[in-house]
Amino acid sequence: MLELRKKKKDFVGSISIWFVRIMFFSLVIALVLLIGKIVQQGIGSISLEFILDDPKNNMTEGGIFPAIFGTIAVTLIMILLAVPLGVCSAIYLNEYAKDSFFTRIIRTSINNLAGIPSIVFGLFGLGFFILFIGRGMDDVLETGLLFGQPALIWASATLAVLVLPIVIVSTLEALNSVPKSHRDASYGLGATKWQTIKNVVLPQARPGILTGTILAISRGAGETAPILFLGAAFFLPNLPITDLCIGDYCIPIINPAKQFMYLAYHIFILATQSSNPTKTLPIQYGSTLVLIVLTFMLNITAIIFRYRFRKALGRL
Amino acid sequence: MNELENEFYSKSVDSKYGKRIKKFTRTKESLIKFFFTINGLAALIFIILIFIFLFKEGFRALEHIGLLDFLYTTRIGADGTSETVFQWYPTSDEPRYSLIPLVLGTLLTAVPATIISTIFGVAAGIYLSEVANPKWKEFLKPLIELFAGIPTVVIGFIMLVIGASFFNDLLHPANRLNAFVASIGLSLVIIPVIASLTEDALHSIPNELRMASYGLGATKWQTISKVILPAAFSGVSASIILGFGRAIGETMIVLMAAGNAANITSNIFLSVRTMTATIAAEMGEVSQGSDHYYSLFFIGIVLFTITFILNLIAELIINKMRKKNTF
């Protein structure tokens, strides 16, 4: 009798375990099929011209270069804003702050910031960056309507707030993994706190900070909702660049006051609001494939970085 | 660490010159500390700023429109009879601002998505943490994280061009783009989130518990279902709450796949319009300073409040779990 019951329970158990296994692999297969479909449909339209050409004929032909350029420009400025702020914030939390009610509030707000819907960031960017800061700058500098309208810099700034938690959390993890003995050794040699952070802690935490930066770029490049009304444009004949001239020497720089095209927004707009969605389907698949490849490459790099970093610290 | 610092300062050269260096170093160090403290507040400051600027614009909607008008509108017909309607028609001649269809639309996409994601996500988390070969796990967990990084616009696009037609042929729904298609799309985003967090929660259960259970003669599944899952219950439920929050706040998938008709319905195969999609679709065309504009910010307040509370609950659960597990 006892034997029988045991066997029966094992039977139920192994069925359940197989169920879990099947659920997991059906999920993986579904996602792989989905990506496979994008690759299969999109690979035909990928070519050097597709990457490097402007859209032509009311966006029904041609390439996606302005969208790629805009994505790079926006994420570049975003990183310049978010990484210094995020790293310094993490340094405060890990190196200076003591565990108190106040720091717990800060940690909670980091997690909460990560959970705010991206569309709310869009509203925030509109209300704070464009209408408050931008219009405020226009009033003070008397520039008419220059800053108080959707522009690349405001999109970057909003995305910087959105990816800030990613940078902070990655940096915190990296700082936390630097052994306390290394800090003590530095103090023992007579270094001050800042010297210790600068010369001992930060160099060891660099791979972790880099991981956070890469993850932030990939997140920022894939976001669409926050930039919908912060300057992403359907089509622009010119790239958002301007010539910065010092004397006779002119170098082209990104113009942060211009509107821009964005790869993720480009996919959305072609799929839902273009004049002929069926005709542009190859372009849509091509753009999607480019975006997927971009984010996957960034994420894989970040995963490998983190794996090596953790292994080097012997925490794996 | 502070004792070490003080020791450093007290042992510096005690000449007049040394004192000046000491003072300089001390000022410099405290300035640096001040600089980092300001930066450290960044996340808190931004949360407060988001709060202020949402409410600053959104509360004007209450002045102009009124709280009750966000629930229902009373229409007086030609024959003098009044009827109560729940409609979102901000652009009509007599604008109606009821949020009821939008909230229902959000729930009709988010709740099924969360149910599907819970089943698949928790199963995937159990597989990763308890069933999978550790060597495989090193490869499979990053794979799930990779899937979590797929941009939502890509999922929206796939649901629009492939998913909608697939389910149209399979189920013949009333509308081609509907809440069901959107919730399948949402699941693809949320399953990796729940799976990853569930795996973390299960992984944090001390191995002694598993060993003790096996020692008592329990099988693998008995250990999982009777020991590990109850022990990690709070962590798993926190992951589901966070997943639900993501489902409510997700914009691009519902904007592209839910059909965007503000129906009041419990039929999952009809088009619905969510709060996020309403903001995304209408903010571009609205004139700044109009009632419609402020009412979109008011929707933003509702979204912000819901997700903020959900995140806070999840955070509290996770903190409680951490405290419990350290003992």
In B, which residues are within 8 Å of A11 by CB distance?
none
* H or E, element range at A112: helix A101-115
pLDDT of B10 above 60: no
Q: Which of A34, A119, A292 shows the shortest C-beta gap to B276?
A: A119
**CA separation for the pair B132, B314 (Å, rounded):** 27
Q: What is the DSSP string of B253-302?
A: HHHHHSB------S-TTS-B--HHHHHHHHTTTSPTTSHHHHHHHHHHHH
In B, which residues are within 8 Å of A126 by CB distance?
283
User: What tens digit of pLDDT does each residue of B136-182 get?
Assistant: 888 898 899 898 889 999 999 999 988 888 898 988 888 888 899 99
Tell which residue, A206, A119, A129, A214, has the closest CA to residue A163. A214
User: What tens digit of pLDDT does each residue of A186-243 get?
Assistant: 999 989 899 999 999 999 898 889 999 999 999 999 999 999 989 888 888 778 887 7
**Of the listed ranges A65-74, A141-150, B219-228, the one predicted with least confidence:** A141-150
Domains and CATH numbers, chain A: 61-312 (1.10.3720.10)
Please name the residues between 225 and 254 in chain B that touch chain A, using a CB distance below 8 Å.
225, 242, 245-246, 248-252
Mean pLDDT for A253-257 is 82
Task: Take residue A184 and report the two structure tokens written for it.
Answer: 């003590």
**Of the listed ranges A56-70, A82-96, B227-241, B249-263, the one predicted with least confidence:** A56-70
In B, which residues are within 8 Å of A131 by CB distance?
288
pLDDT of B253 above 90: yes
For residue B133, count CB atoms less than 10 angstroms from its CB and return exposed for 0-12, middle for 13-18, buried for 19 or more.
exposed
Contact predicate B240/B221, CB 8 Å: no
Could you give the percent of chain B with pLDDT greater than 90? 43
pLDDT at residue A129, as a whole number: 93
In A, which residues are within 8 Å of B219 by CB distance?
9-10, 13
pLDDT of B14 above 70: no
Task: Take residue B284 and report the two structure tokens written for it.
Answer: 């571009």
Q: How many CB pairs under 8 A join A and B?
A: 263
Contact predicate B275/B102, CB 8 Å: yes
Mean pLDDT for A148-158 is 91
**CA separation for the pair B258, B269 (Å, rounded):** 10
Per the listing, tokens 């420009």 go with A73
Residue B295 contacts A, CB cutoff 8 Å: no
CB contact under 8 A, B150 and A221: no
Average pLDDT, chain A: 87
In A, which residues are within 8 Å of B25 by CB distance?
192
pLDDT of A138 above 80: yes
Residue B149 contacts A, CB cutoff 8 Å: yes
pLDDT at residue B326, as a whole number: 55
In B, which residues are within 8 Å of A12 by CB distance?
221
Q: What is the pTM of this model?
A: 0.89
**Of the listed ranges A15-24, B16-25, B210-219, the one predicted with least confidence:** B16-25
Mean pLDDT for A40-66 is 83
In A, which residues are within 8 Å of B152 by CB distance?
222, 224-225
* H or E, element range at B62: helix B42-64
pLDDT of A316 above 50: no
CA-based nearest residue in chain B for residue A232: B284
Angle of CA points B224, B225, B230, to nearest 5°: 95
Q: pLDDT tier at A72 (50, 70, 90 boundaries)?
A: very high
pLDDT at residue B266, as a whole number: 82
Mean pLDDT for A131-142 is 88
**CA separation for the pair B41, B46 (Å, rounded):** 9
Q: Which of A38, A110, A115 shows the shortest C-beta gap to B245?
A: A115
Angstrom distances, CA of residue A52 to CA of A47, B230, B283? 9, 55, 32
pLDDT of B327 above 50: no
**Of the listed ranges A168-182, A214-228, B18-32, the one predicted with least confidence:** B18-32
**CA separation for the pair A139, A143 (Å, rounded):** 7
In A, which residues are within 8 Å of B284 by CB distance?
228-229
**CA separation for the pair B45, B65 (Å, rounded):** 30
pLDDT at residue B290, as a whole number: 83
For residue B107, count CB atoms less than 10 angstroms from its CB and return exposed for 0-12, middle for 13-18, buried for 19 or more.
middle
Pick from B2, B6, B22, B47 the residue to mutate for testing the A interface (most A CBs within 10 Å). B47
Q: Kindly give the residue spans of alpha helices, DSSP state H, lying in A43-91.
A: 48-52, 65-91
Mean pLDDT for B226-243 is 92
**Of the listed ranges A167-176, A193-202, B55-64, B105-114, the one predicted with least confidence:** B55-64
Nearest chain B Cα distance for residue A48, angstroms: 22
Contact predicate B69/B99, CB 8 Å: no
For residue B93, count CB atoms less than 10 angstroms from its CB and return exposed for 0-12, middle for 13-18, buried for 19 or more.
exposed
CB contact under 8 A, A127 and B35: no
For residue B37, how many other CB atoms are within 10 A of its CB? 14
Q: Helix A101-115 and helix A152-176: axis angle, to 10°?
A: 130
Mean pLDDT for A140-163 is 88
Mean pLDDT for A102-131 is 92
**Of the listed ranges A10-14, B110-114, B174-178, the one predicted with least confidence:** A10-14
**CA separation for the pair A119, A225 (Å, rounded):** 5
Mean pLDDT for A170-189 is 92
pLDDT of B57 above 50: yes
User: What tens digit of pLDDT does each residue of A285-304 get?
Assistant: 999 999 999 999 999 999 88
**CA separation for the pair A62, A45 (Å, rounded):** 10
Dihedral sign (CA B278, B280, B285, B291): positive
pLDDT of B44 above 80: yes
pLDDT at residue B35, as a whole number: 92
CA-based nearest residue in chain A for residue B1: A184
Angstrom distances, CA of residue A223 to CA of A156, A228, B149, B169? 11, 10, 11, 31
Task: Take residue A52 and report the two structure tokens written for it.
Answer: 């490097």
User: What tens digit of pLDDT does each residue of B125-142 get?
Assistant: 999 998 888 888 888 988
CB contact under 8 A, A222 and B142: no
Q: Which of B43, B56, B123 shows the shortest C-beta gap to A89?
A: B43
Q: Which of B46, B47, B142 shows the shortest C-beta gap to A303?
A: B142
CB contact under 8 A, B127 and A24: yes
Average pLDDT, chain B: 86
Mark residue B286 as left, alpha or beta (left: phi above 0; alpha: psi -120 to 50; beta: remaining).
Answer: beta
pLDDT of B18 above 50: yes
* Three-state SS at A59: coil
pLDDT of A53 above 70: yes
